[in-house]
Each structure stands twice: as C-alpha cells, then as structure tokens.
Amino acid sequence: MGVAVRTKDLTKIYRLYHGPRSMVAGLLFGRPPDTEIVALDNISVEVEEGEAFGVIGDNGAGKSTLLKILTGTAVPTRGEVQVQGRATALLEVGVGFHPDFTGRENLYFTGALMGLAREEIAEREGEIVAFSELGPFIDEPVKTYSSGMYVRLGFAVATGFDFSILIIDEALAVGDQGFQKKCTDRIAAFRKAGKTILFCSHNLYQVRTLCERALWLERGHPIRIGPAREVVTEYESSSRTRGTTATESVLTLNKMVRDDRCRVESVTVLDEHMQPVDRIHSGETFCVRLEGWFGPGFAGTPALGLSLLRDDTVVYTTSTAMDGVLPRALADGRYTATIRFRKCPLLTGRYEVHAYATDEHYLQAYDAVVEAAFFTVVDEGPDTGLVRLEHDWIN
C-alpha cells in the first residue's frame, strides 16, 4: 500500500486588514496585516491508500481548512501537500452549482471542474441521474429545486465519478431516510472497494465506527494522531474537562430526518423473568426489549440499537448490527430484539434508554427516540460511580 495523502509542515495563515485602505497599503507597499489568524500550524500526516482517516476537533480547530487545502480550493501559506490519485470532495454539497443551469448542465459543469473529459462525464450521466432520483426535474433549472433535491444532486455528482480519494466534511448522508440509506450504502461500497476516505466530523460515533485512524486538531495544532477509537476517547475526555458539549458520541444523538420508512415503536425494560420493571437491583439480570417497524421502502437489513445514559453521560451503546445478530421478524414489517444484561454492574442512579432504528452499516440512525424508557438502579453497597468493576486486592 502506498501513501494517498501526505502533508509536511503544512501551515495556513489568514492575513486580515481592517478596511480597504489597509488592504491597498498591504498589496502595494507590503504593509503588514492588521491581524493574522493561524488556521493550521505545521501539520504533518500521512494517509495510506485504502485507509479511512478521521479529522476531529472543536469549531475553529482548522478541520475544514485542512480539507479545503487537500482538495485544492485553498492554498497553504507554507509546507508541502501531496495527493496521489483523483480526489472528490463533499465539503458543502452542491456548492458551485449555477442556479440558472439545469441539473444536467450542472452535472457536466461540475464534472468539467473536476478535470473530467466530456466523454467521461457522459459515461456516468445515466447512473448519476438515476441515483439523484430527480426524474424529469434533472432538466429544470436548479433554482427551482427544493433543498432536498439540491443536496441529492450534489451528493450524486460528487460521488458519481471514478476517483480514488473521497474527502467528506460532515455530509456523510443527506436527504430523507431513503436517500440517507443510499448515501450510507455508497460510502460503505467505497470503503469495501479500498478507496481512501478522509472524514471530518463532529459526529464522533461515525468517526469511531468508520475510521481506522484519526487526527485531533486544536486551534490549528495537531494534538494527537493515532487509532480512531483512542483519539476519539481522549478528545471526549478533554471536552468534558473543558465543559465542551458540542460532540456527538452515540448514534442516537445524530441529527436526522425522520420519515415513514422505519420507526422505533416501543422500548420496555424487563426483569430476568421478562416482566416490565422500572427498578433494578445492582447485580441482578435485566433486559431491554426493542420493537421497530421497517416498511417496504426501507432498503437494507433492519437493525435496532440502544444507548444507556445517566446524567447525560453515555454508559453503553450497542445494536444488533454491531453484535452481528438479526432482530426477529414479526408480522407486517415489525421487528423485535431483546438484549439481556447479566449481573447488572450499574450503580445507584436513574438511567435513561435511547433507542434507534438503523441498518447493517450502523453509521446512521434513521429513526430515534430519546429518553424512550427510564429505570432506577438500587445498590446497597458502599461503591460509588457509574459501574462496579470486578476486582480483588493483591498484597
């Protein structure tokens, strides 16, 4: 495997002038800028071919600036950038579309901007139009499109051509549930085909699930590069210490569009005898039964999942897809799955259950119910915290 993306001492400085006079003086006479903002400071990283690489950090950390430099829409102040292979980007879906051009004309226009010959664009035209699901609207001006139609065309065009590197800034999936599913399937197919993916997101769950390695940026400085799960965990810990809450580390907290193709129908907390309860003793066995509906318009393998939280702290998240099991099919598109927790390790407190309907990729929640159920854990021992850890003392 070779290196798909390499940066060395990459630095980006925005030089700002307070007013047109200062700008003119700077351009003509070399006057120093009134303000300098260091967006990136000596970033050196290598991304291997076929690797999924995440970029995380707070707002203003420099994530989008890094991706814009890699796509060529921004120029570094100093340092080196090497991108091996053809890259396509989902930075702002549909950005650059001309409002007076039709969808088809914008398809050719965008393809030309990517450096593609007209023949190459024509070869993919039918597939891209079909993926966008725009039908006859493909020959209407995009200024007449709804926001959903606009992003459908943008995603279809950005991912519809042959490339080796996909750069994503937040927009992993767009549109309604049906189209989100198609987007997720396409990303999964890219992953399976061994294409390189650079993924910048505040959605830490998706970074942890999709990526092998990740870069943590803070005010333009590289804080940590390493395995995605480790980097995300350290970033979450740092965010809690700093009181930052702008992270999404569980699937159920994703921003999503709910529709009628699938839904979470019920969540029930049960004791070991499968009787509904709202009170559990620490050390006892308990279960959570999930029920959902997946209609004929849902394309994919149905999956159900949950997160357990206490005081806004995520204790545990899993799903049938993550554990490699299938929910049980009932009548009329309904599915159920029951998860059993043996010897409950939770300590005293009130816990809430978030439930979600997803698919085999478990990257996107297509429907979710926050605070779907509650239960209280009672522990009569002296332990404090969230969970009891099995232990002994060695002298």
* Average pLDDT, consecutive stretches of 10 residues, N- to C-terminus, the chain (395 residues): 89 81 71 79 92 90 89 88 85 73 91 86 92 91 86 85 85 68 84 89 85 92 92 84 58 52 92 94 95 88 93 89 94 95 93 92 85 92 87 89
C-beta of residue 79 within 8 angstroms of C-beta of residue 62: no
- Which pLDDT belongs to residue 246? 45
Helix (H) / strand (E) containing 341: strand 334-341
The model's pTM: 0.77
pLDDT at residue 95, rounded to an integer: 61
- H or E element in which residue 268 lies: strand 262-271
Outline where the chain has alpha helix (H).
Answer: 20-29, 63-71, 103-113, 118-132, 147-159, 177-192, 204-210, 228-242
Asked if residue 334 belongs to a domain, the reply is yes
Which residues, including other chains, have CB under 8 Å from residue 47's CB and lie 6 or more apart?
3, 4, 5, 6, 53, 196, 198, 213
Q: How far is CA 226 from CA 56, 192, 230, 233, in A?
A: 12, 22, 7, 11
pLDDT number for residue 201:
83
Do residue 201 and residue 312 come from a single domain? no
278 shares its domain with 334: yes
* Per-residue pLDDT at 265: 93
Rounded Cα distance, 16 and 21, in Å:
12
Q: 146 and 48 in one domain?
A: yes
Helix axes 177-192, 147-159, angle to 10 degrees: 10
For residue 93, the model assigns a pLDDT of 58
Number of domains in the chain: 2
230, two tokens: 């480790």
Instruction: List the domain range (segments joined by +) for residue 80.
Output: 3-252
- Whether 240 and 270 share a structural domain: no
Strand 367-378 relative to strand 349-358, pairing:
antiparallel
State the pLDDT at residue 333: 92
Report which of 179, 184, 108, 181 is spatially closest to residue 149, judged by C-alpha positions: 179
Q: What is the pLDDT of residue 113?
A: 80
Residue 387 lies in a domain: no
Q: What pLDDT shows up at residue 257?
A: 47
pLDDT value, residue 251: 58
Boundary of a domain, candidates 252, 272, 291: 252
Residues 85 and 219 in one domain: yes
CATH of the domain at 135: 3.40.50.300
